[in-house]
Amino acid sequence: MTILQETQNLLKLYLHVCGEDEVPPAYHVWSCLTVIAACVGDRVYFERVKEMPLYPNLYTFLIGESGSGKGRAIRFAKNFIEDIPLVNYYEGKITAPRLIDKLGRPTFNEVTGVREVANSKMFLSSPELAMSLGKGDLAQSFIEQMTELYGGSTRLQEGTRTHGDVVLKNVCINWIAGSTKEWLLKAVSPEAIQSGFFARTVAVYGDDNCPRMFRPKYPPDYREVLEHIQARIHLLCCMRGEMFLTEEAEKFIHSWYLNRKKPEDDLLKPVWNRQREIVLKLAMILKLSDGGTGMLIDHYHIQAAVKLSKIVEDTMPDLVEFASRTPETRTESSVSRLMKSLGTVDHTTLLKKVYRYGVSGKQLRIAMLDMKNKGQVLFDRSEKGGVFYTWVG
């Protein structure tokens, strides 16, 4: 028996072929959602405001420790779409001017000898975000440009004296990226995290409690389901048209929207303001995942989209706090992580361990006193006068 006899839901089938693995399921879920969005581009839309269509494109950032599975999830998704010209998959280093050229400047195909029109749709992949964007002004310029292009169907003119003008029309970009929190700040400024750019981004944290496995366990119907997914991906590339809400879906999202609690922290308000937009994008994608040619979004699509959008609410406070840290609070964070794992440790041993993080003896003493005042650690002395610390949380 195959799962295809039980469901035609593309997301469920995608997770099925991923099998049992160390990669956090959330990484695969959001990779699949972004692939679906990239397949339909801006040919599918929802019009909440007249003459201002909303497209299901996503900027998805998988965030976790090195080796947590971000790259594997992105590579698995890549296998389904990298050879589809319409999707226009691009992976590699990128700058703001290079992106403009890729989206708006015609190219010459050396194989066919034909001059090809530029594809203004793109699925941008950055498995290692900091490596793809660089850092400093170069990365900041790219982030600002991606913020501008997020809405899709933008007309943008860019040019230099050397290369002339490039006009972008009907742009639609889907973006998936992987990064640790530390390296994220090398490519994305704290200001971008605290403002408009990250309000447009889904930041996905992986689960640290995934089981350790030497090899993944794949289902017996792996090949059959994989081929079905590939066929469905190509069908999605042919879909187009306006999507609508059923009456029940309209009532549900109306009630949800009016009853949301406004965040007290001003830094979280941009995310709160854009959550309706994220929910509608996700509802469109979930409807497309169901299969068929219908364009009606039902209430259960909205309910599932609201649940998925909670990940933005849950991760943004931590990201904003992380981006706002001073050198002192970053030191304290490094020390507290070590203390949690060590439990009880003497000062000399702890100093040796934190030294690799660039923490000096003076910085360690200040951090430990601050944590003591917060009730997170206890101080004690040995018979020989040595200081011991105990983590109490």
Asked, colleague to colleague, whether 3-323 and 327-391 share their fold, the answer is no
Q: Which residues contact 38 (CB under 8 A, 6 or more apart)?
A: 57, 81, 87, 89, 123, 174
The residue whose two tokens read 């981006």 is 323
Residue 393 has what pLDDT? 79
- Reported as a pLDDT band with limits 50, 70 and 90, residue 164 is low
- Reported as a pLDDT band with limits 50, 70 and 90, residue 275 is very high
Q: How far apart are the first and last CA of the chain?
A: 50
Over 244-306, what HEC string results?
EECHHHHHHHHHHHHCCCCCCCHHHHHHHHHHHHHHHHHHHHHHHHHCCCCCEECHHHHHHHH
Residue 161 has what pLDDT? 45
Mean pLDDT of 132-153: 86
DSSP helix, strand, coil percent of the chain (3-state; round to 5): 50, 20, 30
63: left (phi over 0), alpha (psi -120 to 50) or beta: beta
The structural architecture, per CATH, of the domain 3-323 is 3-Layer(aba) Sandwich (3.40)
Residue 117 has what pLDDT? 64
Percent above pLDDT 70 for the chain? 93
* Residues 52-95: tens digit of each pLDDT: 999 999 999 999 988 889 999 999 999 999 999 999 999 999 99
Mean pLDDT of 286-307: 95
Inform me whether the pLDDT recorded for 113 exceeds 60: no
- The tokens for 2 are 């195959």
Of 225, 142, 236, nearest in space to 189 by CA: 142
Least reliable range by pLDDT among 30-44, 58-72, 121-135, 203-217: 203-217
Inform me whether the pLDDT recorded for 152 exceeds 80: no
Mean pLDDT of 40-54: 93
* Residues 221-259: tens digit of each pLDDT: 999 999 999 999 999 999 999 999 999 999 999 999 999
- Reported as a pLDDT band with limits 50, 70 and 90, residue 97 is confident
Question: Does domain 327-391 correspond to CATH entry 1.10.10.10?
Answer: yes
Mean pLDDT over each residue of the chain, to the nearest integer: 88
Q: Domain extents for the chain? A: 3-323, 327-391
